[in-house]
Structure 1
Amino acid sequence: MSFYGRYETAAEKKRKAQNKLKKLMKKDPTVEPVTIEGRTIAKSWWGKAWCTNLESYADYSNRISRGKAYVKQGAVLDLKIEEGKVLSKINGSGSKIYDCDIHIDKLSDERWDRVLEHCQNKISTLDDLLTGNFSDELLMIFKDKSYGLFPSPDEIHFGCSCPDVAYMCKHIAATLYAIGAKFDNDPLFFFTLRQIETESLIKKSIEKKLDNMLEHVGKKTDRTMDASKISDVFGL
């Protein structure tokens, strides 16, 4: 007799998760499940960069992989991103649904100022920012562990209602990966989570370009343009 029970295939686990999701949606139609199509959890630049950043830390390396299968099986029944916070409901064993909460520290003013400084003249439009269409130099700046945009383990705080006493349970691991998948739907969620303004990145670059243009034609370089005009010209 086995003490571990009958082995369940990935397809069976996914089917059970879908049935549980249907029941949950009847009670709460506002739930936002994370559905993975294909073998890759995240496909957008921001989503892939998020997951790569998580996997790059030794503190997470032995635990984070536990969440991959859970996400692909549809275990993330609900995931909502707010400023500096993520709330999720994860399908557990049996009839259990566990609640996870993840809090991420706000980007420090010092790091934000350094990012803005490096972004001068390197981003043209909001679309370029959201699609990751910028130089390799800027990619490295964004992902730099010392002063980039992505959080370190010290900046990520989490809790789960499950009884697992491990540092990072599989429900938290699944939630962390699911955040990256969420960025595929809307990269702006990244900036909401990190509590930073996309407009500031664009405007910083635009202001530098305007100064360069005005300097080139021999005009004053201290000329400014109000936010509404910048938005009209550059499509913000």
Structure 2
Amino acid sequence: MNRQSWYPPPSRPRPVEGGLQARSRRGAIGATWWSERFVSVLESIGLGSRLQRGRNYARRGQVISLDVDAGAVTAQVQGSRARPYRVRIGLAAYGKTQWTKLEQALAGDAWFAAQLLAGEMPEQIEELFAAQELPLFPATASELSMDCTCPDWQVPCKHLAAVFYLLAEAFDDNPFAILAWRGRDRDTLLDNLAAVRSAGPPPADRQRTGKPLDDCLEHYYDLAVPLPATGLPAISSVGLLDQLPSVAIMVRDNDLVKLMRAAYAAFGESDITG
């Protein structure tokens, strides 16, 4: 008897209406450097041959849903059974302290900050993460936790592989999903980068030190320097007449201002002060 007769025929997945389909119909999946990097990392750690089995699932639209959250990608994949399988791909999300360190490094480079604030993913961002000893992509299979409710004992199964490929295309559409998987959503990241860059270095006078307040209370209200003596400037009487508006008053056919000017001159041109 042929040994292959012991095995059941390969099962066919149930068709799905409105499933998530990979845009790539042939060849590699992933159009941007970050999605290609994601797939290449997975293939380089020994998942490539198994990922290929899910490529057909991804292109047929067997994945019903796909969600990216901090530390976990969850999905539903329709297989040969009536109930879709639940898939989860876990990756360690960085905490608040780690992201503060990353955000300061990103904000410290004007080029990185400008590209991220413009909604673009800098090509050297992977190196920046590595310099902080916080890798952006998983480097080994042990960094990923992969679960599927299907009966297949192999990990990753074709359902997990299908999610990997659609995840790569999701990264094409939204590169910030990679960062969200690591624990920082787009809006929070951009807000924090803008805040770090606007804060700038602390003012120099914040570093100054002086005497304690208790040692200064006795003379707290004393003047540091004497106030200068001030007074109104001396004004010439003739100058006062020059500042008068036009006065249409006549005294015995004589202009009033002319009479006053003659009177001031008779007083000896004395200066007055107010």
Residues 80/165 of structure 1: CA separation in 2 closer, same or farther (3 Å cut): same
Selected match of 1:21 from 12, 16, 19: 16
Is 2:85–2:148's contact at 8 Å kept on the other side of the alignment? yes
Residues 168/35 of structure 1: CA separation in 2 closer, same or farther (3 Å cut): closer
Selected match of 1:182 from 158, 161, 170: 170
Residues 74/203 of structure 1: CA separation in 2 closer, same or farther (3 Å cut): same
Q: Counterpart amino acid of 1:179?
A: L
The equivalent of 2:193 in structure 1 is 202
Write the distance in 2 (CA, Å) between the matches of 1:123 and 1:82: 23
Q: How many residues are matched?
A: 196
Is 2:20–2:58's contact at 8 Å kept on the other side of the alignment? no
Write the distance in 2 (CA, Å) between the matches of 1:145 and 1:127: 18
Q: Counterpart amino acid of 2:57?
A: Y
Flag as ranges the 4+ runs of structure 1 deviating above 6 A: 4-8
1:124 aligns with 2:113: yes
Question: Deviation at 1:163?
Answer: 0.6
Is 1:126–1:198's contact at 8 Å kept on the other side of the alignment? no
The equivalent of 1:231 in structure 2 is none
TM-score, normalized by length of structure 2? 0.55
5+ long unaligned stretches in structure 1: 26-31, 212-218, 224-236
RMSD: 3.9
TM-score, normalized by length of structure 1? 0.63
Is 1:34–1:77's contact at 8 Å kept on the other side of the alignment? no
Write the distance in 2 (CA, Å) between the matches of 1:194 and 1:48: 18
Residues 71/144 of structure 1: CA separation in 2 closer, same or farther (3 Å cut): farther
Question: Deviation at 1:82?
Answer: 2.4
Higher relative contact order (CA 8 A, sep 6+): 1
The equivalent of 1:100 in structure 2 is 87
Larger radius of gyration: 2
Question: Deviation at 1:145?
Answer: 11
Q: Counterpart amino acid of 2:112?
A: I
Is 2:95–2:183's contact at 8 Å kept on the other side of the alignment? no
The equivalent of 2:56 in structure 1 is 69
5+ long unaligned stretches in structure 2: 207-274
Selected match of 2:181 from 193, 197, 206: 193
Is 1:42–1:48's contact at 8 Å kept on the other side of the alignment? yes
The equivalent of 2:253 in structure 1 is none
Selected match of 2:74 from 87, 101, 122: 87
Write the distance in 2 (CA, Å) between the matches of 1:109 and 1:97: 35
1:156 aligns with 2:151: no
The equivalent of 1:42 in structure 2 is 30
Q: Counterpart amino acid of 2:172?
A: D
Question: Deviation at 1:141?
Answer: 3.3
Question: Deviation at 1:164?
Answer: 0.6
What secondary structure does 2:113 align onto? coil
Write the distance in 2 (CA, Å) between the matches of 1:149 and 1:68: 24
Residues 62/201 of structure 1: CA separation in 2 closer, same or farther (3 Å cut): farther
The equivalent of 2:20 in structure 1 is 33
Identity of aligned residues (%): 22
Question: Deviation at 1:182?
Answer: 1.3
**Which aligned pairs between 1:107-118 and structure 2 lie closer than 5 A?**
107=94, 112=99, 115-116=102-103, 118=105
Write the distance in 1 (CA, Å) between the matches of 2:205 and 2:155: 53
Residues 54/112 of structure 1: CA separation in 2 closer, same or farther (3 Å cut): farther
